[in-house]
Structure 1
């Protein structure tokens, strides 16, 4: 796996390079700004771009805007955004446009090396990873979401799906059997009105419904 890093903090950028290398992941380039990110991706054609949400010159949403351009130009390149704080609007903006090979994590998660490397690999493989804190805040703002029809256990399963977990990982996390997870997932699809059209596609739609990403009100 080859990764390009975009992070303006010299110390964190160096730490990410070392951390990824320790996991056997090649860092093709490490840059400090959005323009250099796009140039590096064009030159290196990596599997994944690890992007800070806030970068120069204004330190607002340069990383998100660069990620949107990146996904438009090179859709096969996965993107994992890193943020100091929960900024759910930025996660929603990106996920509203793309539904695979995407992740949004708080920088604190980097401290758990194994979990962080697992997230990098999952996103690079085409999955979706959302920080649990982002999921929690998104849910708190959406009281009319149709997922309110779900049982508490079904809601737990859908929340784990939103974090990008597979059925087997959900079973391990919730301490239930694999068949029970499959039953809950099918119930979720039915209650959200998601007709059979490929399990992976329905999972993405269920997560989007859960987060109500399309709602800009």
Structure 2
């Protein structure tokens, strides 16, 4: 289940000859297995890795990260350069994915940001009533500030049309963080639309990644 950076990434989907790698960044309080159903639903020649933040499962003995930047530093260093990389982040994972994109040796193929307001409208989108690793994650997210940096990759904003914590117009503000193209995709459902329509989301991601490869 381990990925290129054994401490930070877990391989959720392998394939014999992957054309690309999708690195998935979990929301607050979640771990790499949050994306297991998503990874299993991907039907394209890409491998899927989930980030394992400190403080959970096999890393439960480690102190949780104190900042979004700390998470991004670890993930970017573990993502590998042997394959083209795309990033997918949901909730708090969206800003972690963005900061990771800024730290990669080359821009990602595409950055998927899901269920989260863009950095210009950043706020903690998950419930503030939490404990343990979720509380630590939310504290890290609450201190995050965008420094006006932009990523040189296409950005795809994704959101449920009934999401009570990340409205479509807020997700659309991700357009301001890229020097590339931006697209907003609406799905049926609330904040966790991707777990309800996992095959639809997985196919959309896989097709976009392969399309970016030409």
**TM-score tier after normalising by the smaller chain length:** 0.3 to 0.5
Higher relative strand content: 2
Higher relative helix content: 1
Q: What TM-score do the two structures reach when normalised by structure 1?
A: 0.42
Bigger radius of gyration: 1
Q: What TM-score do the two structures reach when normalised by structure 2?
A: 0.42
